[in-house]
């Protein structure tokens, strides 16, 4: 099976596109000019149910929808596309709209970029003590693009917004110097778009350096959902699996962090075989997904997804709340509804499946889990807790926010009990302890 990509330039050649109305095709063109759009033959032929368009979850997951842009922005782009303005002018108009869509939520771009020997590790992010994120330069694309993606600026060629790195060597030095680091998390885009050879070029230096503090290599990837042939039929599938085994044999835990948004993505024979092949290398597969309207805002979906994951040998890990970027309004599920969906699904799964944690917001101060809604001294509150925090002291204290049925993100919340600040507000600007740590570690937070 060879991968065939479709994007704005050729999607009208997809045979199934005949099932769409002219209005839907026009919407793909308009929205696809602003947000990333790329699909492949596997997603089209095996995952999308074309008799259920436009409601099909996978169709919503990969095909741009009209309502993903505000009415105003949609009209601006539509008008620009239908006029005879120059390409540059068109690009300027589109980029202006992109910048309005909060391309780097939670300070993704400038925060947490470490430095070593006076050189910025531009493809590395170090926010939580134990784990560094690594964005290999060749892994900054995906086998298809999700319409909700918060990494979208990387795919649309606004160069200054990209994270990337060819600097494995510096990464190795950095891990050596910072012995609190136990995990390297390869992310992207999708690192599994790389050939076995390329991936090996990034992994080998880490293995050869014999770093005693490095316990886990994680690879964050959507490839099991979008291109499972990577682990079954591709010409370097065997080499990929051998590389995984090599990591495991070296005594390092390999955790494949699989992004699955819907049970359909686990339904084909080829994905089941791919999962089996990965597990046979000794790697483990953990799963995570955001919760999104039009795609998976239903407890049955989550219950089935988690149960099926465990049945196939995977470990449910995180349920995320969709970030405040891109088409968030279209996909946003309120905090209250996310919690209700999480709880309804959670009630129907055994303890083995309850390794999942959520609903969680990956925000600037850390990953914040919504634990529940409660009434304390007559005040209705959200109970929250840090799962990861920029300041690890915050992990110790659950905290409360005023109940707000419309809240969709941490920024919408106000402290409960008439308090002025959350603990993390008071520390929003770097504390003295952090400053000391920064000087010691030579980590620079912009």
- Closest by CA to 326, choosing from 126, 154, 139, 165, is 154
Range 178-197, binding ligand PLP (CB under 6 A): 185
Please report how close the Cβ of residue 173 comes to ligand PLP at its closest, in angstroms.
Answer: 19
Q: Is residue 153 close enough to count as binding ligand SF4 by CB under 6 A?
A: no
Q: Is residue 231 close enough to count as binding ligand PLP by CB under 6 A?
A: no
Q: Is residue 128 close enough to count as binding ligand PLP by CB under 6 A?
A: yes
What element of type H or E holds 307? helix 299-311
- Closest by CA to 249, choosing from 283, 220, 219, 278, is 283
Q: Is residue 48 close enough to count as binding ligand PLP by CB under 6 A?
A: no
Among 183, 190, 265, 308, the residue binding ligand SF4 under the rule CB under 6 A is: 190
State the Cα–Cα distance between residues 192 and 136, nearest whole angstrom: 10
State the Cα–Cα distance between residues 328 and 310, nearest whole angstrom: 30
Which residue shows structure tokens 């290999």? 136
Q: Retrieve residue 15's tokens.
A: 């045979």
- For ligand SF4, which stretch binds (CB under 6 A), given 160-168, 187-195, 207-215, 320-328? 187-195
Judge if the upstream peptide bond of residue 169 is cis by omega within 30 degrees of 0.
Answer: no
Q: Choose among ligand PLP, ligand SF4, none what residue 202 binds, the Cβ cut-off being 5 to 8 Å by kind.
A: none
Please report how close the Cβ of residue 286 comes to ligand PLP at its closest, in angstroms.
Answer: 8
- Closest by CA to 35, choosing from 326, 324, 295, is 326
Q: Which C-beta is closer to ligand PLP: that of 60 or that of 125?
A: 125
Number of H-type helices and E-type strands within the chain: 15, 15
What element of type H or E holds 221? strand 216-221
State the Cα–Cα distance between residues 364 and 218, nearest whole angstrom: 22
Q: Is residue 222 close enough to count as binding ligand SF4 by CB under 6 A?
A: yes
Q: Retrieve residue 77's tokens.
A: 């782009």
Range 90-149, binding ligand SF4 (CB under 6 A): 142, 145-146, 149
State the Cα–Cα distance between residues 429 and 396, nearest whole angstrom: 20
Q: Which C-beta is closer to ligand PLP: that of 47 or that of 291?
A: 291
Q: Is residue 386 close enough to count as binding ligand PLP by CB under 6 A?
A: no
Q: Is residue 122 close enough to count as binding ligand PLP by CB under 6 A?
A: no
What are the residues whose beta carbons fall under 8 Å from the beta carbon of 346, sequence distance 6 or more?
354, 356
Q: Which C-beta is closer to ligand SF4: that of 227 or that of 422?
A: 227
Q: Is residue 424 close enough to count as binding ligand PLP by CB under 6 A?
A: no
By CB under 6 A, the count of residues binding ligand PLP is: 10
Among 33, 309, 388, 427, the residue binding ligand PLP under the rule CB under 6 A is: 388
State the Cα–Cα distance between residues 22 and 339, nearest whole angstrom: 38
Please report how close the Cβ of residue 427 comes to ligand PLP at its closest, in angstroms.
Answer: 17
Q: Is residue 259 close enough to count as binding ligand SF4 by CB under 6 A?
A: yes
Q: Which C-beta is closer to ligand SF4: that of 76 or that of 321?
A: 321
Instruction: Tell me the Ramachandran region of residue 157: left when phi exceeds 0, alpha when psi lies from -120 to 50, beta otherwise.
Output: left
Q: Which C-beta is closer to ligand PLP: that of 80 or that of 363?
A: 363
Q: Is residue 133 close enough to count as binding ligand PLP by CB under 6 A?
A: yes
Q: Is residue 125 close enough to count as binding ligand PLP by CB under 6 A?
A: yes
Pairing of strands 284-291, 315-321: parallel
Let me know: does 213 contact 166? Beta carbons within 8 Å: no
Q: How far is CA 186 from CA 171, 242, 355, 413, in A?
A: 12, 18, 22, 32
Q: Is residue 356 close enough to count as binding ligand PLP by CB under 6 A?
A: no
Q: Choose among ligand PLP, ligand SF4, none what residue 133 binds, the Cβ cut-off being 5 to 8 Å by kind.
A: ligand PLP
What are the residues whose beta carbons fall under 8 Å from the beta carbon of 277, sequence distance 6 or more?
231, 232, 237, 241
Please report how close the Cβ of residue 112 comes to ligand PLP at its closest, in angstroms.
Answer: 6
Please report how close the Cβ of residue 119 comes to ligand PLP at its closest, in angstroms.
Answer: 20
Please report how close the Cβ of residue 129 comes to ligand SF4 at its closest, in angstroms.
Answer: 24
**Residues of this chain that bind ligand PLP (CB under 6 A):** 125, 127-128, 131, 133, 185, 362, 367, 387-388
Which residues bind to ligand SF4, rule: CB under 6 A?
142, 145-146, 149, 151, 188-190, 222, 259
């Amino acid at each position: 099976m060879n991968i065939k990509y479709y994007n704005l330039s050729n999607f009208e050649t997809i045979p199934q596109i005949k099932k769409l109305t002219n209005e839907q095709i026009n919407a793909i063109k308009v929205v696809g000019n602003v947000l990333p759009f790329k699909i492949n033959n596997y997603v089209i032929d095996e995952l999308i149910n074309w008799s259920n368009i436009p409601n099909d979850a996978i169709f919503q997951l990969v095909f741009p929808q009209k309502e993903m842009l505000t009415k105003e922005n949609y009209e601006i782009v539509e008008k620009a596309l239908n006029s005879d303005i120059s390409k540059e002018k068109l690009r300027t108009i589109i980029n202006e709209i992109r910048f309005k869509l909060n391309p780097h939520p939670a300070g993704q771009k400038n925060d947490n970029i470490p430095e070593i020997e006076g050189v910025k590790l531009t493809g590395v992010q170090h926010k939580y003590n134990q784990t560094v994120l690594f964005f290999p330069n060749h892994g900054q694309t995906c086998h298809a693009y999700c319409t909700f993606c918060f990494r979208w600026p990387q795919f649309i060629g606004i160069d200054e917004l990209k994270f990337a790195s060819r600097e494995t060597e510096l990464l190795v030095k950095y891990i050596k110097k910072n012995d609190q680091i136990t995990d390297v998390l390869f992310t992207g885009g999708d690192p599994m778009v790389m050939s076995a050879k390329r991936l090996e070029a990034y992994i080998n230096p880490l293995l050869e350096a014999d770093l005693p503090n490095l316990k886990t290599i994680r690879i964050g990837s959507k490839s099991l959902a979008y291109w499972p042939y990577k682990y079954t039929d591709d010409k370097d599938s065997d080499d990929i699996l051998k590389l995984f085994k090599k990591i495991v044999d070296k005594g390092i835990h390999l955790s494949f962090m699989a992004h699955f948004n819907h049970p359909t993505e686990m339904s084909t024979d080829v994905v089941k075989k791919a999962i089996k092949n990965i597990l046979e290398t000794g790697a483990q597969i953990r799963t995570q997904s955001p919760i999104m309207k039009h795609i998976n805002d239903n407890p049955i979906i989550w219950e089935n997804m988690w149960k099926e994951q465990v049945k196939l040998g995977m470990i449910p890990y995180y349920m995320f709340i969709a970030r405040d970027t891109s088409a968030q309004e279209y996909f946003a599920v309120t905090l209250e509804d996310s919690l209700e969906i999480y709880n309804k699904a959670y009630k129907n799964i055994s303890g083995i499946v309850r390794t999942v944690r959520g609903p969680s917001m990956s925000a600037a101060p850390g990953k914040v889990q919504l634990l529940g809604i409660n009434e304390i001294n007559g005040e209705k509150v959200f109970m929250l807790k840090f799962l990861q925090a920029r300041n690890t002291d915050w992990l110790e204290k659950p905290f409360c926010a005023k109940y707000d049925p419309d809240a969709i993100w941490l920024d919408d919340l106000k402290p409960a009990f008439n308090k002025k600040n959350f603990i993390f507000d008071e520390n929003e600007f770097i504390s003295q302890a952090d400053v000391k740590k920064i000087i010691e570690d030579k980590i620079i937070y912009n």
